[in-house]
Each structure stands twice: as structure tokens, then as C-alpha cells.
Amino acid sequence: MQVIEISMWQLFLCLILVMITGFCSIMLHLKLEKDLLIGTTRTFVQLFVMGYLLKFIFQINTYYLVLAFFTWMIFWAAHAVKGRTKERTIPLLFPTFMAMLVSCMLVTIIVTSLVVQVKPWYKPQYFIPIGGMIVGNSMNGIAVALERMLSEMRKQRDEIEMFLCIGANCQEATASIVASSIKAGMIPSINALMTVGLVTLPGMMTGQILAGVNPMTAVKYQIIVMLMLTTSTAISCIILIHVVRRICFTPAQQMKI
């Protein structure tokens, strides 16, 4: 199957869709026009820049450059998570970055080296796209989990302090909040497992089919993707929620938030 090339003028035709959305925003007074304009502009700029960077990295094909580029992607994902939570009291950037670095790097290396068995395992045509999907999915799950935990800790502050007063430590006083926060971060990934193939045909599978890959091969890759996304999200949420929970308390078991 021959891949249909898309010209620039065809690409710009998609702006009609954004204009329709903007028109709806104006008519309904949603005040989303500015965000739509900025988001659309950033989409064009960031993806074209990424395309040129990937062409450069694919040509060099050295492991330290691939890993450095992947670490750079993770840093900006952690920065986006910090921005979503809008937390000012607790430092979130470094623990978020480290949790995502550990989980995303681990899962990506396992998938490329052991599951797909890419030779070499850091081959950027596989490592960067697979790692990018892992980072993006983990970012969304972490943001949900963090937002849930911080909001619940503030909401249940009196109850937590009561537990601390009767001798409980911070782990015991917030055990239910931690569990519910991790669960909240995992729900989107689990829902995706339940509905894939019935409600949606995910992006990687659709892209491979459009590129002419055998549908059964695309299905196998998509199964790998779904499982690795679920695992990376779980590891990221578990590590980060436990680390941030500890940061929320002083050594004397007093709440900081």
C-alpha cells in the first residue's frame, strides 16, 4: 500500500476545523479562542521542530544522544505536570521528573530490548516514538493522581491531624488518600484497556494501518503499547505519590500544606 503524502496546503485545510471550534467558542461565550490559537500555533511549531530533530537523531543513532533526548522529553513532561497542579507550597518538579525518569526509562528499555527486540535496543526509530507514548500517558495519569492527593489532603486536613495526634504516622494517616489517588491516576489507562478495539482504534495501530502495515502486525504492536502504558503509569503514580506524600510532612509529622 502506498502512503498518501500530505502537502502543506492540505495540512492548513485542517485549520477550518479549528475555526469551527473557535466560532462555537465565540457563540457560546466560552472564551477559548485565545487558547485555541496558542495551542494550534504551538502544535505546528513544536511538531515540525520535533520532526527535524528526529531526522537528525535518526542519522546519528548513538545511545547517549537518544537517552539525552528522551530525558529532555521527560523533563518537559514533568514541567507540564507541575503546571497543571498549580501547587505553590510543595516542590513537585524534581520528584515528578525523577519518578517519570525511572518508570519511563525502565519500561521503554524493557519494551525495545526484550519485547520488540530492537537491534540495537536504543534504535531511535523505535525508542523515541515508544518512549514518547509512555511519557505522554504517564504524564496524564500522574497529573490526575497528584491533583487528587493534594486536594484530598487539604480537604481532610482535620481528619489527618486527628490521626497524627493519636499517634499515627503520616503513612497511616493518609493511607486511604494515597490509595484513592493512585487509583484515580490509573483509571484512564484501565478504561482504555477495556474499550480498545470496541470503541477506539488507537493512534499507533491506526498510523501503522495507514502506512500499509499488515493489520495483525499493527494489532500486536498496539497490544504491547496498551500494556506498557498501563505499567508505566502505575509505576510513575506509585513512586511519585509516595514521595510527594512524604514531602508534605515535616520530620516532626506536621503537615506543610
Sketch the domain layout of the chain as residue ranges: 1-60, 62-247
pTM for this entry: 0.80
pLDDT in tens, 70-122: 999 999 999 988 888 877 888 889 999 999 999 999 999 999 999 989 888 98
What does the pLDDT read at residue 2?
Answer: 61
pLDDT in tens, 152-206: 999 998 999 898 888 888 888 999 999 999 999 999 888 888 887 776 666 777 7
Q: What torsion, rounded to 10 degrees, do the Cα atoms 14, 45, 82, 143 define? A: 30
Q: Residue holding cell 544522544?
A: 65
Confidence of residue 145 (pLDDT cuts 50, 70, 90): very high
Quote the CA–CA distance of 206 and 208 in Å, as a whole number.
6
Confidence of residue 55 (pLDDT cuts 50, 70, 90): confident
